[in-house]
Amino acid sequence: MKNTLTTFKEITHAVENINLATVSEEGIVSNSIVTFNQDDTADNVYYVLTNYQSHRAQNIITHPQVAVSSWFEQKSGKRFSSNNATAKVHTELDFIAAVAGNHPAMTKFGTDFSGKCILEITLKSALIEDFAGNVQNVEF
């Protein structure tokens, strides 16, 4: 039987998008579908390139607690979710260029990062579920 971290890695490598839920200063929840890139060394850290003026970025500045979930992985039917996650907004062009340089999907539409930011999402734990109702918890 695979350990939960191995299962988690398999799911995150198989899906390209996650749902990212943020909360505004007024307490309004917003959900977006975002393309993410996983950190090269930390399995629980994701990067999202987005517009600095977007609701998601502005919400994270005022309320860093976020929730994420994935679609199910086609082969196994497994998916992950976490409401035990935080996010930071990075606007430093050196940081954006360094992260984007390691993830070609971020430079697919160009390398002009003006007005952009990177959301750094860190999961502290996640649930792994499947269609059979099995649930596993992974802690980071």
The per-residue pLDDT for 28 is 96
Query: Angle at Cα 82 formed by Cα 51 and Cα 91, nearest 5°?
Result: 25
16: tokens are 């390209």
Ordered by where they begin, the domains of the chain are: 4-139 (2.30.110.10)
Nearest to 23 by CA among 50, 49, 61, 52: 61
Per-residue pLDDT of the chain (140 residues; tens, 9 = 90+): 478 899 999 899 888 899 999 999 999 999 999 999 999 899 999 999 999 999 999 999 999 999 999 998 888 899 999 999 999 999 999 999 999 888 888 888 788 889 999 999 999 999 999 988 889 999 99
What 3-state class would DSSP assign to 75? coil
Q: Who contacts 106 (Cβ-Cβ below 8 Å, separation ≥6)?
A: 37, 47, 49, 99, 100
Report which secondary-structure segment, H or E, holds 100.
helix 93-102
